[in-house]
């Protein structure tokens, strides 16, 4: 069940989990009206996928985590709205991104254990 986390730009996105897992059948363009949270657990579902983030103009200071829940070596390539690659997130990794000065910044990634 999705939860309302506030209006973009209010800083209301902190520490809100995205319920459930997003299983992809193609590339994904993130829309926070649909994916209402700042932690996205994504299964690329058998292929490498692109995840494109929305224009950061309305998300000042937002932190976003993308968890790669693949069951095999499938990479998620994270792109900004212009199509520029910000970084990659391999199987069993989490990528941490933040909006700084009006741009998505790939902060870091780390190994995780998903259950």
Residue-wise pLDDT tens digits, 20-35: 789 999 999 998 888 8
Name 16's Cβ contacts closer than 8 Å, sequence gap at least 6: 3, 5, 36, 37, 38, 39
What does the pLDDT look like over 23-67, one tens digit per residue?
999 999 998 888 878 899 999 999 999 999 999 998 888 999 999
Name 75's Cβ contacts closer than 8 Å, sequence gap at least 6: 44, 48, 68, 88, 89, 90, 91
Biggest CA-to-CA distance, the chain: 37
51: its two tokens: 């995840």
pTM over 0.85: no
Domains of the chain: 22-111 (2.60.120)
């Amino acid at each position: 069940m999705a939860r309302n986390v506030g209006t973009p730009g209010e800083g209301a996105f902190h520490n809100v989990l995205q319920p459930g897992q997003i299983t992809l059948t193609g590339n994904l363009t993130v829309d926070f009206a649909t994916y209402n949270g700042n932690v996205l657990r994504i299964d690329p579902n058998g292929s490498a996928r692109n995840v494109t983030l929305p224009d950061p103009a309305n998300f000042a200071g937002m932190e976003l985590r993308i968890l790669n829940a693949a069951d095999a070596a499938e990479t998620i390539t994270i792109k900004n709205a212009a199509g520029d690659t910000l970084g990659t997130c391999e199987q069993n990794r989490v990528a941490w991104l933040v909006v700084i000065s009006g741009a998505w910044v790939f902060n870091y990634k780390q190994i995780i254990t998903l259950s």
